[in-house]
Structures are given as C-alpha cells and as structure tokens.
Chain A
Amino acid sequence: MAVMSTESPAAVIAPERALPPVPGRAARLWRALFAPKTLIMAAVAGIIGYLAIVPLYYLLYGTFFDAAGFTLSGFERAYSANGIGELITNSVLFAIGASTLSLVVGTALAYLNVRTDVPFKPLFFAASVIPLIIPGILYTVAWIFLASPNIGLLNKILEPVFGPGVLDVFSLWGMIWVEGLHLSPIVFLLMVAAFRSMDPSLEESALMSGATRWATFRKITIPLVRPAIVASILIMTVRSLESFEVPVLLGLQNGIYVFTSRIYFVLRTYPPDLAAAGALASGLLVVAMLGVLLGNRAGKNTRSYQTVTGKGFRPRPMELGKWRPLAGALILGYFLMTVVAPLAVLLWTSLLKFYVAPSVEALKSVSLDNYRELAGLSQAGTALKNSLFLGLGTATLVMFLMSIAAWIVVRSRVRGRGVIDQLAFVPLVIPGLVLGLALSFVYLRSPVPIYGTIFILLIAYCTRYLPYGMRYAVISMQQIAGELEESAQVCGASWWQTFRRVLLPLLSPGLIAGWVYILVVSFRELSSSILLYTPGNEVLSILIFEQFENGQFTVLAALGVVMVLTLVVLVTVAYKLGAKVGLRQQ
C-alpha cells in the first residue's frame, strides 16, 4: 500500500500526461516483487507448500503407484476388510461422540473461564494443559485402572450402591469418554482465545433488550465464535478418527474395531502395506479437505466475526449470580475427572513395583525407586534437553509462520490463498510413520547434511503441528477487523510495522494458545521421531517408548509425572509472559 501512495501524486498533478507505460510497469513490478511484504509472504507460502507437499507426495505416490504403475489395489485391500460396515459405523460413532463431548466440555469451560465470574479460575489452567501432557498410553491405562469392570477403582467405590462393574471403560461409551476428555483441552484452548477477543457489548445489548442469558448465549455468543467452533469440530473429528491408543487399548478387548486398528493391521503385515495405509489416510484426507472448505465457507463473511475493531472495549466478566455455585461444582467435577483422578493413579503407580489397587498393605511397599531409576537413565538428561529445544523451537517457528500465513489467507487478496489453507491442513492426516519415511527419503538424498541431526526432527515436528498452528492463527485473524491495520497504514506504518506492532499483539491470545498446545504435544510425538532420531538426539517420547517396551510400566508412570511437572512450569511462565501483551483482562 505504501508503494501505491507514492505513485498517486504524479497522476493527480498531471492527469493528462500519461506515463510511458513500459518502464513504469516494469519499475512497479520490480518494486512490488522486492517489497518486504511480497518477499515475506512468498517465503511463508513456499515453506508451507514445501513442508506439506513432500510427505503428501510420498503418501500419494505410495498409494497409487506400485512397481507396475498406477493401481488402486491399496484401496481394495484397505476397504475390503472383514466387517467393514461395522468398522465404519464404530469409527463414525466414536468420532462424533468424542468430538461432541470435547466440544461441549471445552466450549462450556472456556466460556465460563473467560466470560463469567466463575469460581476456581486457577484450576482451569491445570485442567487445560495436564490431560494434553500425559502421554495417551498412560492416560488410557490410568482410565483402565479407574473404570475397568474387573479392577476399576471407581467401580469399587460405586459397588455398594450400583452393584459390581457399573462403569465399563471397554465399551464404545468408555472410548468416547476417555478420548473426549483427552481432546477437550484443544477445544478449550481454541475457544478461550476466541472468547477473549470478543466484545461483550454485543451480549450486553442483547441482555438489555430483554433476552435471557441462554438465548444470548445461543443467538449472540455462539454465532460470533462460529469459525472457532467449526475449526474445533474439524480437528476433533480428524483427531479421533486417527486416535490410536484409545481404540487399541479399550476397543480391541471387546472387539470394537475402528479405522486406526485397521491401519495398524495393514502396517503390521510383512512387508508393511503402505499402499493400504495410504488408502485409509486418503479417505481421511478427503474428509479433512471437505471440512476445511466448509470451514472457510462458514468463515467467509469474515466481517461478521470481527469482534476486535477500532472501537475500544474491555472484556468484562459476566456475573453468574445464583448459578455461580453450580458452575463451580461443574468445574470441580471436571477437574477431578480429567486431572486429579488419572494423575493420582499415575502418581500411585509410579511409587510401586507393579500396579496394585491402593490398600494399607500396598502402602507399605511404596518407594521412590522408579524415580531413582529414571534419574539413573543415561539419556534422560539429553532427552529432556532435546525435547525442550524441539518443543520450544517448533512452537515458536510454527506460530510465527502461521500468523503470517493466516494474514495471507484471511486478509490478502492473493489468488490461490485458499490453497495455502488447504496445504497447511494436509499434515494432519498423514500417518507419523509415513511422514518419517518421507523425510528420511528426502534428506538421505539432500546435499544439505540434515539427516542424522536434530534438525530433521525439527522439520518433522513443524510439519506435524502446522495444521494446529494454522487453525489457531486463522481463527484469531478472523476476529480482528481490517480497520485497525488501515489506520496504522494511514499513519504511515509499513506493512511489516503494522504486522509486528498492531496485529501480533492483537493476535496474541490465539497465538499463545497455539504455542502452548504445540509445545505440549511435541513432547509426545513418537511415530516419526522413532524413525528419524540418531544416538545423542533422543527425545523424551523415545524414552517413554523404551520404558514401555521394557515392561517398566511403573517407571513410565514416574516419567509421566516428571513430564507433567516440567511442562506445567514452562506453560505457567509462558502465560505470565503472555499476560503482558495483547488484550488485558479486567
């Protein structure tokens, strides 16, 4: 825009004297090409394209081509399994159930936290990150110890009232429950960011005009955060369709099969049937692409969601009145279910030699041996250091790149910007093993010595978490009105200055939420790390996998506890720093 303003005076002063067309156009093209804005945008688009297309190409090539040329046999093998009908039904029910549960729980909690004077606010913070930190395998096994009909602690507590085995975690409902709770923090983080950037005056007007609280919530609040809700549904559905731990640990026991169990079976055979796995992933890809398309249509009329405008506002919490105790009870309940109970089981297990239900007798065998063993592991220190480097690096890089990408997608008029949005979503459906294979394929042949260093892991992580970063950034961007940038530019700020000084601070709730999410989940990434790491570059998730393989379940529980503590400290610091920029509360 700055470029344009310099050329207009000439046109105004001498309208009749046409500029020589050729040199003028060339000069303008030249300037446009090398304007920092163009360069930055092109670089970001290029990076996203590169990160997404490499594994996608590898996946699709392996799916559609074999030694003989084009083939669809992978699809035939993947979708012609025994009982495929039941498989699809189970997958769909599981995905719908888990995403609905996480959406309702996550949104409700986010709303209560940001927009009301609900009690126990500090608990939200723990409830929003701890389930994310606990590795899926530990979280699921903790729930087996809690709600198995045979050995579940909760069942033992409920037995006098309801009879034996009232809760059954090995059922579709159990799977939905565990997965839904494990996923709800993602929704919570997304929705907190959305609610935080919302001008409450709209709700207040509705209330003033006589609408009930519920009507206001339904007709004003929810429509305003629709982009965030659509994004949540999308991520949750894809995530629960690809979830591994819950279906194999809870579903298999009673023969409830879903798509991921299928992927497991086709990758297990020898040689691994990458074509069939690719065919299953392609199915997911189609679902995800349609989702992004729908999401963009829902967010198309972006002006309707712009709640951060030139008009000043201060998010002020709503008074809950007589509902306050009920809301408080709900929150305590949620906190107990998602954090206290599983964490307590883990803590208990980590103090034992092997799992036994808590009793006076068992209490005598409690020791810190597992923690001692953990401290004695030679790679523990290196792994922690590497995981920290990768987690912080990935989170920062992804969120920075994605905030620019989100600007391109939401704000710019560049043709093909929708493609960037689609590409950024692709890695979500690529199985971790395939990503690992694709990256090792490329970097084993690249002249740049990245293979065998920690940077190949950084690339893998950035690729895997790009989709999340993009969603967080796009949703926040859709809430910010264009007039703020325009005012900055009218005052003479360059595009980069505007971006840095106006947009980034306004985006910060969403960017921090995304940053926290990526930091936390990158500590858990295993499926591509395990193929790509080299001695000396171990990460924590590999240590977890080794303890698991060794049958050291109790040491694993101890490691889980240590991870929770480390990340809680990190995330607290991040929030404290984050509170200094952007929209102030109260």
Chain B
Amino acid sequence: MRRYTTRLGAGLLALVLGLAACGGSPSASGPASDRGSGGGAGASRAAEALYAEVGALSGEQRRNQLVAKAEKEGKLVIYTSMTSDVADAVVQAFEDSFDVTVSLYRAGSETVLQRVLQEQKANFAGNDIVETNATELFDLAKEGRLAEYKGERRELVPDAGKFEGWTATRFNLFAPSWNTKLIDAAGGPPKKWEDLADPRFDGKLSMEVGDYDWYLTLYGWFAKQGKSEAEIDKIFADMAKGAKIVKGHTVQGELLSAGQFAVVASNYTYLVEKVKRKGAPVAYTPLVEPVIARPNGIALMKTAAHPAAAMLFYDWLLEEGQQVLADQGLTPSVPTTGKDPLEGVDVIPVDVEKVLSESDRWSKKYEAVIQGGEQVTK
C-alpha cells in the first residue's frame, strides 16, 4: 500500500506542477471574458461615446445632463494615491453634492498603477477614474487605457498641467524646510538651492532617497542657468556630503521637527505645513526659489462602468473640488478665487517627460549622488 501512496503523492505533485506550468505567461493579457462591473470592448465603446457626446457640451447644459445620467448610474469607483485625509474630504464633498455613492481604493501611486494595469490586462473594469502622480498617469496613457477628456475647465489649467489623456488637479511642491530652533546655529535658513551645498550644513542636511524627479528638474534648471555639468555635479555632491539620507517624506518631517537634522532638501511643503500647524518648530518660508512642482492628475478610464459619474467627478474636481483641495493645504491646478499663496513665486514643474523617458538613468545618477559615490555618466 505504501507503494501506491508513494506513486499517488508523486502523481499529485506532477499534476500541481503541470497545472501551474499551463498557467501561461503572466505578462500576457488574459482571456477576453468580460468580467467585473461591466468592462470589455463593448463597455469601452459605450463609455467613450458618452465622453465624446458630453465633451461637446459646456456650461449648465453639460452639468445637468451629467448629473441626470450619473445619478442614474448611482455609483463611482475611484482609484487614487491622494492621502486619506484629503481623499475623505473630497469624497465627502462630492457625495454631499450629488446622489452618487463613491467607492474609493487608496494606495501609493506605484501600487495604483500596478492594480489598474493588472485589472485592465485581465479585462476587468475595476475603476472609472484614476487620480494619481504624473509618472503613473503617463504610463497608463502610453498603455492606451485612458480616454480623452474635453471640457472648459481643463483649458484653465496651465500648460504644465495638461497632458494627453490626463489633466493636473493639484501640484506637490518641493522646497527646502528647516527646524527653526536649530537653523540659527547652522547660519540661518537657505536662501537659494545652491546654499544647500554649503559646508555649514554638513551633517545637518537631510535628503530623501527617492526624490530623483526633484533632482533631475533642479539639475535641468541649473543647466539652464548656464552652469556646466561638472559644476552641477559638484553642487549635488557637496549637498550629499555629510547628508543624512531618509526614506519617506513623513518620517523626514517628523525627524525634522524632533531635531534629528536642521534642514531638509526636498520635502513636500504641504507635509511640513501640516506639522507646522500643530505647532512644531518647522518652516519652509520664505520659499527657496524656484519652487519645484510635481503635477498630480486625473483621468477617465476607457472601460468605465459609470462613465457619466466619472465625467461629472472630473468636471467637479476641476471646479468646486479645487477649493476642497486648497482647504486641505494642497496647491490646486486651477487658480482659485482668493489670494494665491504662490503669487509672485517662481514655480517650475517637474520635467515629467524626462522622468518617464530617462527614469533609469536619473534614478541611478541620483542613487550615486546620495551614496556620495562616483557619478554615473551615460
């Protein structure tokens, strides 16, 4: 009997291995079974037809038609990388205005991208709208998953926020920030980006391990100012000398207020603002210029199961929603009424095209900078 059991065990194992091997290539797209809450080529055509039809309208007529259709759909699925406090405020305001129930998936931008791609490749229409970072939206657009959006609100967004397939809704601003109790001992706050390379900040400056988009944009700006590559490399090498490298902007902000270091090179201003409002001894104004802005944006899915609700949300986020974002301390992409906190401030957008096309090169170059090692030249 033992022999049979033996064979049985081996056979079962072979079966399991065989089944797994028949699974096919994990990178290939799945069978064309239409699953999910709609989905498939048919839904895609229907959604795109609606986008085109409503896209031609404007003003009240457009809004009324969208509201009627969206409330009939009754539901909206958003995938976003907004932080949850912002996302909660946005969803709350939207649900208060319209009779549409929002279902929200939140994760880091890379995870949002992975999730959408996984679902789309399997013909599973999980979401109607995606709201995330520029790089991830570029990728989705390149993969042909995003639908075209036409609307008057998009025209109000500056050119640095208008892209094929998606529109910026807000900007994350990179600027130096400092601990007000420690900065005087280090000779006062930095006034320009080059100051960060000053030896007075050795051992007192912190840099973030993943901010290569900040790095390449500032690099480009330095070049435009007429600096040679050798000069720019030296500035960054001097910054990195003695710098404390931290992973994660939140931890960086927390450690800054606790006094672990005196200056942070490239934190998001809204994160610093948040701890500052709680009374922590941190500051980022007067802003070191130019402030570097990274667009975050919104896009319609081609396969949306609730296209009208999706388009309504898009319109709304670029209109009423902009104020909600501003109230949360973010920088909206459409200048809202009232005082613009960035009036007169020199702002340059992150070079998103370069981030996308030369990601590997710049990521490696920045990695070498923060390791204080040799520069990678390609």
Question: A252 to nearest B CB, angstroms?
Answer: 4
CB–CB B114/A419 < 8 A: no
Binds B, one of A45-53, A95-103, A385-393, A561-569: A45-53
Inside 8 A of A355's CB, which chain B residues have their CB?
A: 254, 257-258
Inside 8 A of A42's CB, which chain B residues have their CB?
A: 8-9, 12
A120 sits at the interface (CB 8 A): no
CB–CB A548/B372 < 8 A: no
Knowing A4-B1, A378-B88 are in contact, say whether A49-B6 is a contact too (CB < 8 A).
no
CB–CB A150/B260 < 8 A: yes
CB–CB B122/A441 < 8 A: yes
0 or 1 for each of B253-296: is its CB under 8 Å from A? (1 = yes):
11101111100000000010011001110000000000000000
Inside 8 A of A50's CB, which chain B residues have their CB?
A: 16, 19-20
Bound form: Cα–Cα A445–B245 in Å: 42
Question: A348 to nearest B CB, angstroms?
Answer: 12
CB–CB A271/B139 < 8 A: yes
Q: From the candidates B13, B21, B108, name the one contacting A416 in the complex (CB within 8 A).
A: B13
A21 sits at the interface (CB 8 A): no
Number of interface residues of A (CB under 8 A): 85
A579 sits at the interface (CB 8 A): no
CB–CB A442/B5 < 8 A: no
A159 sits at the interface (CB 8 A): no
Bound form: Cα–Cα A153–B255 in Å: 14
Knowing A41-B9, A265-B367 are in contact, say whether A353-B135 is a contact too (CB < 8 A).
no
Q: Which of A67, A144, A440 counts the most B-chain CB atoms under 10 A from its CB?
A: A440
Inside 8 A of B115's CB, which chain A residues have their CB?
A: 440, 531
Question: B309 to nearest A CB, angstroms?
Answer: 15
Inside 8 A of B2's CB, which chain A residues have their CB?
A: 413
CB–CB B260/A38 < 8 A: no
Q: From the candidates B122, B359, B368, name the one contacting A82 in the complex (CB within 8 A).
A: B368
Knowing A440-B118, A445-B30, A546-B84 are in contact, say whether A451-B135 is a contact too (CB < 8 A).
no
Inside 8 A of A29's CB, which chain B residues have their CB?
A: 4
Bound form: Cα–Cα A320–B135 in Å: 64
CB–CB A551/B8 < 8 A: no
A55-90: which have CB < 8 Å to B? 57-58, 61-62, 65, 67, 82-83
A520 sits at the interface (CB 8 A): no
CB–CB A49/B16 < 8 A: yes
0 or 1 for each of B336-373: is its CB under 8 Å from A? (1 = yes):
00000000000000000001100110010001101111
CB–CB B371/A82 < 8 A: yes
Give the residue name and chain of the B residue nearest to A29 (CB): B4
0 or 1 for each of A399-437: is its CB under 8 Å from B? (1 = yes):
000000000000011111101000000000000010011
A272 sits at the interface (CB 8 A): yes
Question: A359 to nearest B CB, angstroms?
Answer: 13
CB–CB A252/B209 < 8 A: yes
A356 sits at the interface (CB 8 A): yes
Question: B117 to nearest A CB, angstroms?
Answer: 9
Give the residue name and chain of the A residue nearest to B262 (CB): A150
CB–CB B84/A549 < 8 A: yes
Interface of A is mostly: helix
A222-274: which have CB < 8 Å to B? 248-249, 252-255, 257, 264-265, 267-272
Bound form: Cα–Cα A444–B5 in Å: 35
Q: From the candidates B12, B255, B359, name the one contacting A46 in the complex (CB within 8 A).
A: B12
B25 sits at the interface (CB 8 A): yes
Knowing A42-B12, A58-B26 are in contact, say whether A253-B122 is a contact too (CB < 8 A).
no
CB–CB A57/B21 < 8 A: yes
CB–CB A551/B107 < 8 A: no
Question: B202 to nearest A CB, angstroms?
Answer: 13
Give the residue name and chain of the B residue nearest to A549 (CB): B83
B73 sits at the interface (CB 8 A): no
A11 sits at the interface (CB 8 A): no
Inside 8 A of A354's CB, which chain B residues have their CB?
A: 254, 257-258, 275, 278-280
Q: From the candidates B17, B103, B124, B363, name the one contacting A265 in the complex (CB within 8 A).
A: B363
Q: From the candidates A28, A270, A415, A445, name the one contacting B9 in the complex (CB within 8 A).
A: A415
0 or 1 for each of A1-33: is its CB under 8 Å from B? (1 = yes):
001100000000000000000000000110011
0 or 1 for each of A344-355: is its CB under 8 Å from B? (1 = yes):
000000000111
CB–CB B245/A270 < 8 A: no
Question: B367 to nearest A CB, angstroms?
Answer: 6
Give the residue name and chain of the A residue nearest to B21 (CB): A57
Bound form: Cα–Cα A505–B249 in Å: 50
Bound form: Cα–Cα A267–B83 in Å: 21
CB–CB A551/B274 < 8 A: yes
A54 sits at the interface (CB 8 A): yes
A151 sits at the interface (CB 8 A): yes
A530 sits at the interface (CB 8 A): yes
CB–CB A249/B20 < 8 A: no
* Known contacts A57-B20, A57-B26, A552-B85, then 4 further A-B pairs from the complex at CB < 8 Å, ordered by chain A residue: A144-B260, A253-B246, A414-B9, A531-B114
22 A-B residue pairs with Cβ-Cβ distance under 8 Å, sorted by A, are: A61-B25, A82-B373, A137-B251, A141-B254, A249-B247, A249-B251, A252-B247, A255-B245, A265-B363, A265-B367, A268-B110, A272-B110, A353-B278, A355-B257, A415-B9, A415-B10, A416-B13, A436-B114, A440-B119, A548-B250, A550-B85, A551-B253
Residues in B lying within 8 Å of A, measured CB to CB: 1-2, 4-6, 8-10, 12-13, 15-17, 19-21, 23, 25-27, 30-31, 33, 35, 83-85, 88, 103-108, 110-111, 114-115, 118-119, 122, 124, 126, 135, 139, 209-210, 244-251, 253-255, 257-261, 271, 274-275, 278-280, 355-356, 359-360, 363, 367-368, 370-374, 376
Residues in A lying within 8 Å of B, measured CB to CB: 3-4, 28-29, 32-33, 38, 41-42, 45-46, 49-50, 53-54, 57-58, 61-62, 65, 67, 82-83, 137, 141, 144-145, 148, 150-151, 170, 248-249, 252-255, 257, 264-265, 267-272, 353-357, 365, 378, 412-417, 419, 433, 436-438, 440-442, 444-445, 451-452, 530-531, 533-536, 546-553
